[in-house]
Amino acid sequence: MAYWLFKSEPDTFSIDDLKSRGAKGETWDGVRNYQARNMLRDEVKKGDLVFFYHSNCEVPGIVGIAEVIKEAFPDPSQFNPESNYFDPKATPDNPRWFCPQVKFHAKFKSTVSLEQLKQTPALADMALVRKGNRLSILPVSDAQWTFIMGMVK
DNA sequence: GCCAACGTTGGC
DNA sequence: GCCAACGTTGGC
């Protein structure tokens, strides 16, 4: 089993939105970056746990945990001309974008903020705190996961 | 709203 | 294949 961090803008889709989806969870669609796509398609497995990260908000940081309940399948939004995520070059025979299904697992009582993460020497190698890393899907090592869980109040 | 740090597109 | 122009992300 592996660990991940998924970013989401809380104004668009927050941890509370995921919680309200219950056991059926949410399709993690709209990822349109090849590096992130490759991780979703090739490495994210059912049962993996995911730090849910709120970006572009007052206090950016990890707010809870999601669980992968279905491995990546072709992202339906790429075929939908009405969708913001429509990709005219993608076809059902040759899909370009993939998405997993995730469900709510836990919400932290308080956010583990980006600021805290940056100030933690043990996490200096974490992809999230590296300069310029804008990927919305990031790997988290076992050691990083354990360490961050220890920071949760 | 600004802007650094990317990623993508397309002309050549 | 290069690279300028453009678009996006996301912290601040």
How far apart CA A105 and CA A102 sit, in angstroms, is 9
How far apart CA A41 and CA A109 sit, in angstroms, is 32
pLDDT of residue A106: 97
- Sign, CA dihedral A131-A137-A139-A144, equals positive
**Mean residue pLDDT across chain A:** 94
Mean pLDDT calculated for residue range A9-22 = 96
CA A62 to mean position of chain CA atoms: 10
Cα R_g (chain A), whole angstroms: 15
CA A132 to mean position of chain CA atoms: 17
Is the distance from CB of A98 to CB of A40 less than 8 angstroms?
yes
pTM recorded for the entire structure: 0.94
Helix then strand then coil, in percent of chain A rounded to 5, is 30, 35, 40
Residue with minimal CA–C1' distance to C10 is: A56
Residue with minimal CA–C1' distance to B7 is: A33
Question: What domain range includes position A19?
Answer: 3-151
Q: Which nucleotide is nearest to A132 (CA to C1')?
A: B5
pLDDT tens column, A81-125: 888 898 888 888 889 999 999 999 999 999 999 999 999 999 999
Strand B contact set, beta carbon < 7 A: A 33-35, 131-134
The C-alpha angle A25, A150, A116, rounded to 5 degrees, equals 90
pLDDT tens column, A49-81: 999 999 999 999 999 999 999 999 999 999 988
* One-letter identity of residue A143: A
Tally the domains of chain A: 1
pLDDT greater than 90 at residue A133: no
pLDDT greater than 90 at residue A153: no
Is there contact between A136 and strand C, defined as CB under 7 Å from any strand atom?
yes
Q: Which nucleotide is nearest to A136 (CA to C1')?
A: C9
Q: Which nucleotide is nearest to A34 (CA to C1')?
A: B7
Q: Which nucleotide is nearest to A55 (CA to C1')?
A: C10
Is there contact between A7 and strand C, defined as CB under 7 Å from any strand atom?
yes
Is there contact between A37 and strand C, defined as CB under 7 Å from any strand atom?
no
pLDDT of residue A83: 87
A63, A76, A67: which is closest to A23 by C-alpha? A67
Q: In this structure, what CATH number is given to the domain that contains residue A13?
A: 3.10.590.10
SS3 assignment, position A1: coil
Q: Which nucleotide is nearest to A87 (CA to C1')?
A: B8
